[in-house]
Amino acid sequence: MSERGTPHHPEPRGGLPATAHVTLDAVAREAGVSPATASRALNGTTRVRDDLRERVRAAAERLDYIPNAHAQALANSTNNRTVGVICHDVSDPYFAAVSSGVMRAAAEQDLLVMLASTFREPAREIAYVSMLRAQRARAILLIGSGFQDRAWERALDAELEPYVRGGGRVAVVSRHRSLRVDTVQPENRAGAAALARTLVGLGHRTFAVLTGPPALTTVSDRLTGFREGLADSGIGLDRVVEGAFTRDGGYAAARRLLACGRPRPTCVFAVTDVMAVGALAALREEGLRVPEDVSLAGFDDIPLVRELSPALTTVALPLTSMGEDVIALALREPSAGRRARVVRVAGEVVVRASTGTPPVG
């Protein structure tokens, strides 16, 4: 019957023991309302008319209905203690460091962190967002570069927009061009430009860059910034060699650079430290000394690079603090008018032993 009518009285319960499980549907039938209305009345997630709320609560009391605590938590994301973190690859020290910052801050607030790696597959990222939506996670954090792909942007926005509209929180690390969400934005372009100017200051005039997939916004920003830094001194970029965003990708890209038959650049910039580690191995296999024969620089300042021999020149980002910042944004009250907030994080050029003056002759 209509929710405007009188309560429906079911058939006698037939002597069911008091311990029998009573479902929400049974409560809804007893109160003469829809299951959705019964759920809202009991969970308090949406405003329900006073008379309907009282009917549902009275029916629940008559039937000795015991709410499912897990279902209630999922129905009300503000009570959910789960935060979802989606990164590209947690085995990468960059993402491990940022994620550790998230987990440290989450632990202080008794929140559970669910961590997933997409391995830079756009479809997988969207699927994980959909799963976390279904779980009614309190917040979803996207850690890592966006993709320069309009179809991916539309699909991701289609998942996130209703989640945010329903009270979920989203925050990201790195540039996601189309998402109107709170962001921790490393200054990749400015950091790479500053690094280029520093290397030019050491006397270098011929450069190669080892990049990751060009569809990633981080790759685009760092490569663009490095070009701009060189252009400030009237210097062009000799070569760009693409590889996977991994240690092995850096190794393979460096091998291709050395095998191309052209004069070797005096300085190589790998757009991530992890790629630079692989490049260092490739240079050594060719019998080249770093920095006496060729200088090498990276970006991020993951802990490993300080222990290399030689220690790596890089652009340092406060990775753990970035993780703490992104979860703080997600858990903070939304800004007025739902305007996205941006925390900009500057990189600092750190010169170490892997770079020096170019060889003479």
Measured N-to-C along each axis, helices 273-285 and 247-259 cross at an angle, to the nearest 10 degrees, of 50
- Give mean pLDDT, residues 26-50: 78
DSSP string, 234-298: T----EEEE--SSHHHHHHHHHHHHHS-SPPPSEEEESSHHHHHHHHHHHHHTT--TTTT-EEE-
Instruction: Kindly provide the b/e burial profile for residues 120-129, where b requires at least 16 CB atoms within 10 angstroms of the residue's own CB.
Output: bebeebbebb
Unique residue bearing structure tokens 């490569």:
223
Q: Is 314 helix (H, G, I), strand (E, B) or coil?
A: strand
Handedness of CA 212, 217, 221, 222 (dihedral sign): negative
Confidence of residue 33 (pLDDT cuts 50, 70, 90): confident
Confidence of residue 333 (pLDDT cuts 50, 70, 90): confident
In DSSP terms, 173 is beta-bridged to: 143, 184
What are the CA-CA distances from residue 343 to residues 47, 141, 210, 256, 331 (Å)?
35, 14, 28, 38, 14
- Give mean pLDDT, residues 29-38: 85
- Per-residue pLDDT tens for 152-205? 888 888 888 888 888 899 999 998 777 888 999 999 999 999 999 999 999 999
User: Could you give the percent of the chain with pLDDT greater than 70?
Assistant: 87
- Give mean pLDDT, residues 58-66: 83
- Give mean pLDDT, residues 202-214: 96
Burial (Cβ within 10 Å: 0-12, 13-18, ≥19) of residue 7: middle
- Per-residue pLDDT tens for 87-97? 999 999 999 99
C-alpha span between 198 and 4 (Å, rounded): 74
CB 30 within 8 A of CB 62: yes
Burial (Cβ within 10 Å: 0-12, 13-18, ≥19) of residue 336: exposed
DSSP 309: S
What structural domains does the chain harbor? 1-76 (1.10.260.40), 82-186+320-345 (3.40.50.2300), 188-316 (3.40.50.2300)
The pLDDT of residue 200 = 98
C-alpha span between 39 and 318 (Å, rounded): 45
pTM of the model: 0.77
CB 182 within 8 A of CB 171: yes
Q: Which region among 54-68, 168-182, 224-238, 287-301 has the lowest average model confidence (pLDDT)?
A: 54-68
- Give mean pLDDT, residues 71-76: 49
In the predicted structure, residue 26 carries a pLDDT above the cut 50: yes
The pLDDT of residue 64 = 79
- Per-residue pLDDT tens for 218-263? 999 999 999 999 999 999 999 999 999 999 999 999 999 999 888 9
In the predicted structure, residue 79 carries a pLDDT above the cut 60: no
Confidence of residue 41 (pLDDT cuts 50, 70, 90): confident
The pLDDT of residue 60 = 87
C-alpha span between 61 and 90 (Å, rounded): 48
How many residues make up the chain in this entry? 361
- Give mean pLDDT, residues 206-218: 94
Q: Who has greater pLDDT, 68 or 297?
A: 297
Q: Who has greater pLDDT, 57 or 323?
A: 323
In DSSP terms, 117 is beta-bridged to: 87
In the predicted structure, residue 17 carries a pLDDT above the cut 60: no
Confidence of residue 361 (pLDDT cuts 50, 70, 90): low
Average pLDDT taken over every residue of the chain: 87
Token couple for 234: 């009237």
Residue 40, amino acid: R
296 φ, ψ (degrees, to nearest 5): -140, 135
User: Within a 10 A sphere around the Cβ of 277, how many other Cβ atoms?
Assistant: 23
Residue 150, amino acid: R
Q: Who has greater pLDDT, 134 or 40?
A: 134
In the chain, % helix, strand, coil (3-state, to 5) comes to 45, 15, 40
DSSP string, 32-99: TS-HHHHHHHHH-SS---HHHHHHHHHHHHHTT----HHHHHHH-TTT--EEEEEES-TTSHHHHHHH
- Per-residue pLDDT tens for 309-328? 999 999 999 999 999 999 99
